[in-house]
Structure 1
Amino acid sequence: MRPTAVERWAADGVLIVGGARAILLQVADPVVAAGVARHSDFAHRPVQRLVRTLGYAYAVVLGTEADSRAVARHVDAAHRPVAGAADADRQLWVAATLYDTAGLVHERVFGPTPTPLADEVYARYARLGTALQMPAALWPGTRAAFESYWADALERLTVTDDARSIAHDLFHPAVAPLWVRAALPLAQLLTVELLPEGIREAYGFEFGPARRRRARVAWMIVRALVAVTPWTLRSTPARRLLRRIRTR
């Protein structure tokens, strides 16, 4: 079946570039950071953590109702011992970081999304929260309302030692395949560039003129690679993870 415009948008593998940015924003909430620090293991299982997050996002945003229910059960089970994980406001924040990051990366690579499609994408990403315990009414009703929520939420963030420890483990894992280690310098450069300035500084990331120039060149390379890579290849991670969810 031919994918819809929103499916092509959300299944594009280039959005994975923003994964670390979303994580660092999520853990800039101290309660989220404390839960992740005590119950996650970025230092020893970075790939597994990424695959689990991507699988959830693809199943909820792109999959069927059955796919969404299946991954939600797994997430709920994993979150059961984590303080604050079932809190609706924090589920809203996590969903918001995934939506905002995907939109930011998509715009950097492809330019602005046309309004009708942008509205459809926005509604689809609300499912990342409502598939769990977040009431649908908690998701801001419009993209303009989301921007207001987002600005206020950023002001309330506090980067704690837990968050900084997670950031260190994210970019300096104790155990990781060679290809992951090779990609980490580029991933860190793009992640730091994508972070809001205040959050970037709170994490202690340096981002002077030389790094800004390297980031601009890196984005040029990303755009060039995307331009010569067919969408059928770029959407491979989404298709494979959805297939895995449906066969397990």
Structure 2
Amino acid sequence: MADRGASFRRDLSEWRIALVAWRLLVLQAADPVVSAGMAEHSTYRAHPWRRVEHTLGSGRRLFYQDEETLRREIARLERAHKRIRGAGPDGRPYDAGDAATRAWVLLTLFECVVAMRRLGGDPYDAQELELAYAEFRGAVAAFGLPGGEIPGTAGELSAYFARYARERLEFTEAARYLLGDLLREAPRPRRLRFLGDAGWRAVRLVVAAVIRELTVADLPPAVRERLGLVRTRRAALLSAVLHRGAGAVVPRLPDRLRYRSPEPARPKRRHPKRSHPRRDGRGPRLDRFFREVLDQTGDGSITVHDLRAMAHNVCWQLELDEAGEARVYEAFDSWWEQLRAVMDADGDGRVSREEFVAATLAGCDRDEAYLERGLLPALRAVFAAADTDGSGFLEFDEYRAVFGGPRVHPAELSHGFRRLDTDGDGRITREEFLAGFTGFFTARADSVPGTELLGRA
């Protein structure tokens, strides 16, 4: 009986959860509070795959790990949600601490696991469903949500979803974007790096069509009706083929292939090729830094929200305590103020790619005083943000948390770290960081160590 009660945990870590991952995001984004928070505080446009990983990864920490991991994850979510509040584009206030919204987000995770089993042809029976839901509620109780927000039994979930869809859900801008343009614009996942940009652009069109059709087909009927979406026969057939195929194959795999490990595997290191000097590589380097590091929301400009999204991602990966998170957010806010003060030429509170590149090139070319007036204070703020434990050094995990991304291969990032670590002691001092990063922004040739802090271009 105990083993059956743990089935929800196992199913959450099964690889076929990927088939309902986009469905999960759409269900959550259809809540206006979630949508408003995503618009200003999320990196889902530029890093959609990271958003999926964070959502599922958080679920695994909540339901798959021990009580201490559960406690830390809830504390981390509480700290993150305190910062997600404001007014949406339509003027309506939103607050991620809203109890009804938090309950909805949690329950969509459970419902998607149930849907995965049902669509795959191996649904929970009534007893298994109640046992799985009791396990789920046991973890959710640690959030301290008001009584009545979480249905008492699994049998009440159908009515809850229908009511919530009717009273709260909307076809929000975030939900529309998830089902539309995002899928056609999504960056290449790291695992598909071998396709190259041209190959991924071709594959992406097919992926976009498949994910959209599958997601619409799999949404609960009450949600489809509320959002005005139609489940076509073609979509229904696609859903049946994919889910039934996965349901027939995946459960028969050995556990090491069937389930995803809670801990991500360390990337293998590769020996880098030699870099070749270029005449003036600053423009492409600055453009790449803007796209891959600064523009977290993927809208072509950077604001305080991009820097805070970076801070959130750093804290998320390194699992910092409250004091550590506060230090990281303070440092990233300082970094933003440096960027805004030096580069926001039109005073609109945003720094465009053109403003960033032009201001950096002009400042470096105009006079050396620019370094101390604009660049070096910003770099000191970056170092403070990356140095999450306050040790005065950057370890590789800290470096990766700030400068890693879906478009930067782990081997390239490791190479950049080693290039900055000029004394080879396995950590980067502030002096090494400032010298290397200054070279990234100012060196015309690509042979300076700092020009490869993101790996080779």
Q: TM-score range by the shorter chain?
A: 0.7 to 0.9
Q: Kindly report the root-mean-square deviation, in angstroms, between the aligned alpha carbons of the 2 structures.
A: 3.1
| CA shift for structure 1 position 208 | 2.5
Identical-pair percentage: 26
Q: Does 1:8 align with 2:10?
A: yes
Q: Deviations over 1:62-121 (max 9, x none)?
A: 111111122223222322221221111111111111111110111121423133321121
Q: 1:105 — aligned with what? A: 116
Task: Write the deviation string for residues 114-151 of structure 1: whole angstroms up to 9, x where unpaired.
Answer: 33321121122235644435246532111222222222
Q: How do 1:1-248 and structure 2 match up within 5 A?
A: 4-5=3-4, 6=6, 7-83=9-85, 84-126=95-137, 129-135=140-146, 138-156=149-167, 157-168=169-180, 170-177=182-189, 179=191, 182=203, 183-197=207-221, 199-200=223-224, 207-237=231-261, 239-240=262-263
Bigger radius of gyration: 2
Kept in 2: contact 1:92–1:138 (CA 8 A): yes
**Distance in structure 1 (CA, Å) of the matches to 2:149 and 2:229:** 32
How many residue pairs match? The answer is 245
Distance 1:159 1:224, change over 3 A: same
Mark the CA change 1:213 to 1:16 in structure 2 (over 3 Å): closer, same or farther. Answer: closer
- Cα deviation for residue 176 of structure 1 reads 2.8
1:119–1:143 contact (8 Å) kept in structure 2: yes
Which segments of 5 or more consecutive residues in structure 2 lack a partner in the other structure?
Answer: 86-94, 193-199, 267-316, 320-396, 398-457
Equivalents in 2 of 1:207, 1:137: separation in Å?
A: 32
Q: Higher RCO, 1 or 2 (CA under 8 Å, sep at least 6)? A: 1
SS in 2 for 1:112: coil
> Is contact 2:166–2:222 with CA below 8 Å preserved after alignment?
no
Alpha-carbon deviation of 1:202? 6.0
How does the TM-score come out when normalised to structure 2?
A: 0.48
Q: Is the CA contact 1:13–1:234 (under 8 Å) kept in the aligned structure 2?
A: yes
Quote the offset at 1:33 in angstroms.
0.9
1:105 maps to amino acid: M
**Cα distance in 2 for residues equivalent to 1:245 and 1:146:** 35
- Structure with the largest fraction of helix: 1
Q: Which amino acid aligns with 1:240?
A: E
